[in-house]
Amino acid sequence: EAGVTQFPSHSVIEKGQTVTLRCDPISGHDNLYWYRRVMGKEIKFLLHFVKESKQDESGMPNNRFLAERTGGTYSTLKVQPAELEDSGVYFCASSQRGSPLHFGNGTRLTVT
């Protein structure tokens, strides 16, 4: 089966610009998660979708971050406007209920 795919793999933008990250989960996985790792720190939860519904968005840093999962398939995470502290690696993961997470390769975001 195809794994979780993320696009782009790298993004370099200037402070104040907008960036949209995309995640395609494994087909049939209802659960989709976004995580972020800032350099040297732990992987932190951002939010969790079950199908197209936001189950938990308690980890979203602020209202500059907007995640969507229209139709319950792929998801996008938009950062607008980007700030320097948003730099990091953004991981997407998907799972069936009760199963381990399957991760994508991540998007490395650099805000300059």
Partner 1 sequence: AQSVTQLGSHVSVSEGALVLLRCNYSSSVPPYLFWYVQYPNQGLQLLLKYTSAATLVKGINGFEAEFKKSETSFHLTKPSAHMSDAAEYFCAVSFPTGNQFYFGTGTSLTVIP
- What single-letter amino acid sits at 79? V
CB-based contact 31:97 (threshold 8 Å): yes
Q: How far is the CB of 5 from partner 1 (least distance, A)?
A: 10
From the CB of 103, what's the least distance to partner 1, in Å? 4
Residue nearer to partner 1 on the CB measure, 15 or 38: 38
Catalog residues that contact partner 1 under the rule CB under 8 A. Answer: 3-4, 6, 31, 33, 35, 40-45, 48, 50, 55-56, 91, 93, 95, 97-98, 100-106
DSSP codes joined into one string, 67-100: EE-GGGS-EEEEESS--GGG-EEEEEEEE-TTSP
